[in-house]
Structure 1
Amino acid sequence: MKSWERVLIAPSAPLHDALEMIDKAGTRMVLVVDETRRLLGSLSDGDIRRGLLRGLTLTEPVTSAMHVGPKTADVGERQDVILARMRKLGLYQMPVVDAAGTVVGLETVDDLLATPLRDNPVVIMAGGRGVRLAELTQDTPKPMLRVGSRPLLETIVMSLAMQGFSKIHLAVNYKAEQIEQHFGNGSAFDVEISYLRERQPMGTAGALSLLADTPTLPMIVTNADLLTKEDYGNMLDRHVEAKAHATMAVRNYEMQVPFGVVREGEGGIEAIDEKPIQRFVVSAGIYVLSPEVLKLIPKEQPVDMPALFELVMQRNLRTRCHHIDGYWLDIGRMADYERANLDFAEIFR
């Protein structure tokens, strides 16, 4: 909510003032705060009505009817997570507080459901052969493999469209005609689609050199073999806030060694770690790149994203990691493809 300060009220204010404030602000409650804006409680029109039925008068302070310990969201918390919790709790609005309990905002269901339109371009790298799925991709490009009720690439495009992104470039190479015939100019999906046609495989970043014009806004770049519920807009906003030049989405990855790992010393065996778990932070195949980074990509040459990030770091440009914790699946192997089809109905219904 943009003008959330209008719903802050002092604990000594009368219930009558709270009712006036609720009416003028068009909200369903006010937030009771002290002089430092620390949240003391919330007060809805229903709380006031129940207080009056108990015998309170409109001249009594808001503390006499307020709800102590209202549900809150943490500053910086993802909006989709907040919305899910509000739905679960049946709440229309939720105050946002910092670590000290100070009110810094107010989220409403209406605001969270409103999708902002974004002019930032998106490039989807859809030119790969899908070698590890060769038995399925001999006649069909990997992004067009059906996952659930539609091609994987269609799910990605639809997800972007639902989040307000409408300018989409598809980098294509292997069996590109199938992709172009399916998506056309994008009008059937309420987006504008253009094509970056690779004459040769150009890696996970090289096709960006085929853009006709250098974007003036940061752009999303994503692989076409990812099934995810990632909030691309949130990742983009955090990139801009951090004044970063290149952001890489990352995930935690665990791998268990199936044997006892022996640590050998000069005197013999020092220790045996039985089936230890190795933990890594790995790339999730989604990126945000500012316009300056695109100038580092050589024209029409194969370049992978790790090499591009190396160039960014060599020039002391700012990079950042964006940790994603929600549903994410890289469909690289047959087992991943089978799992994607099992998950689809529940995750993307």
Structure 2
Amino acid sequence: MKVVILAGGYGSRIAEQSQYKPKPMIEIGEQPILWHIMKYYSEYGYDDFIILGGYKQYKIKEYFANYFLHYSDVTFDLSTNEMKVHATNSEKWRVTIVDTGLDTMTGGRLKRIEDYLGSETFMLTYGDGLCNVDLSALERYHRQHGKVATITMANIAQQKGVLEVDNGRINAFREKENGDGVLINGGFMVLEPKIFEYLDGDNTILEGEPMHRLVEDGQLMGFRHDGFWQCMDTQREHESLVKMWNAGSAPWKIWD
């Protein structure tokens, strides 16, 4: 199953760093948060990624183009213009990076890669959020209920999309309200290709009309997650994630 990662926004609320690089490339430890997200998915066996770039998307391409150089011992023979790789410590990932436009909205970015996904069920998440949700259980839940979309419902007080839920079925989806111990849209979604029928052009915001139409059609389900979840919208949130990582207590680090 392919994993689609939204990575094209400006990251204006963390401009201290995003003025130099796209937000998904901001480091936690020595690796960008995008790498942490991909490592987490990979531990569950999801290794085929499509990254939806936009703002400074060339930085993401350069990172993966030079990925093996960061983790390999190499000899450069400048007299012969040859390079020898002695050892590699790479990943088993397949990574497709698509330039989905500078100002394209989330739904528009997804719509642009419809041909890359065809008739496959796929996963979708944001390139600035980490959690420790059970991805295998999430996929099973999605396949069991047979609806178009499943989103992970994070139980946390944040200013995110507030959900009203009845037996897993989402009856209301409201964006950007003050949360107080409520369930919110935490990303980490599973979607059927029918989702593209709910998307129009570049100005489509996935969390807007498409989500509301899914609710009206009874096609949006929620997978409750009471564990760790954290987005990286601000410098303070970034510092919190870095602190967890440096202390060896990052809940999302499930790999050796």
Q: TM-score range by the shorter chain?
A: 0.7 to 0.9
Which fold has the larger relative contact order, with Cα–Cα distance below 8 Å and residues 6 or more apart in sequence? Answer: 2
The answer to whether the 8 A contact 2:147-2:219 is kept is yes
Aligned with 2:191 (options 289, 303, 318)? 289
Question: Aligned partners of 1:234, 1:246: CA distance in 2, in Å?
Answer: 15
Q: Secondary structure at the match of 1:189?
A: coil
CA contact (8 A) 2:232 2:238 kept: yes
Q: Which structure has the bigger radius of gyration?
A: 1
Q: List aligned pairs for 1:17-28, cutoff 5 A.
A: none
- Aligned match of 2:118: 215
Are the structure 2 counterparts of residues 216 and 152 from structure 1 closer, same or farther at C-alpha, using a change threshold of 3 Å? same
Residue 148 of structure 1 deviates from its aligned partner by 1.7
What corresponds to 1:172 in structure 2?
A: 53
| In structure 2, distance between residues paired with 1:134 and 1:157 | 23
Name 1:44's counterpart in structure 2.
Answer: none
Tell me what 2:166 maps to: none
Equivalences for residues 1-349 of structure 1 within 5 A: 120-184=1-65, 188-211=90-113, 212-254=115-157, 278-314=180-216, 316-344=217-245, 345-347=248-250, 348=253
What is the letter of the counterpart of residue 11 of structure 2?
G
CA distance in 2, matches of 1:307, 1:196: 24
Please identify runs of 4+ aligned residues in structure 1 that moved more than 3 A: 184-188, 299-302
Change (3 A) 1:337 1:319: same
Check 1:186–1:323 CA distance in 2 against 1; reply closer, same or farther (3 A cut): farther
Structure-1 residue corresponding to 2:162: none
What amino acid is the match of 1:219? F
Q: CA deviation at 1:279?
A: 3.5
- Identify if the C-alpha distance between structure 1 residues 254 and 169 changes in structure 2 by more than 3 Å, giving closer, same or farther: closer
Identify the residue that residue 165 of structure 2 maps to in structure 1.
Answer: none
1:161: Cα distance to partner? 1.6
Q: Which amino acid aligns with 1:226?
A: G
TM-score by structure 1 length? 0.55
Q: Secondary structure at the match of 2:184?
A: strand
Unaligned 5+ segments in structure 2 are: 69-89, 159-178
The one-letter amino acid of 2:141's match is R
Distance across 1 between alignment mates of 2:104 and 2:223: 25
Say how many residue pairs are matched. Answer: 208
With over 3 angstroms needed to count, the CA separation of the structure-2 counterparts of 1:210 and 1:185, relative to structure 1, is farther
Contact 2:107 2:203 in 1 (8 A): no
State the identity %. 21
Normalising by structure 2, report the TM-score: 0.74
> CA deviation digits over 1:241-298, x for unaligned, max 9?
111211111122348xxxxxxxxxxxxxxxxxxxxx9432211122111111122211
What CA distance in whole angstroms lies between the structure 2 residues aligned with 1:129 and 1:304? 17
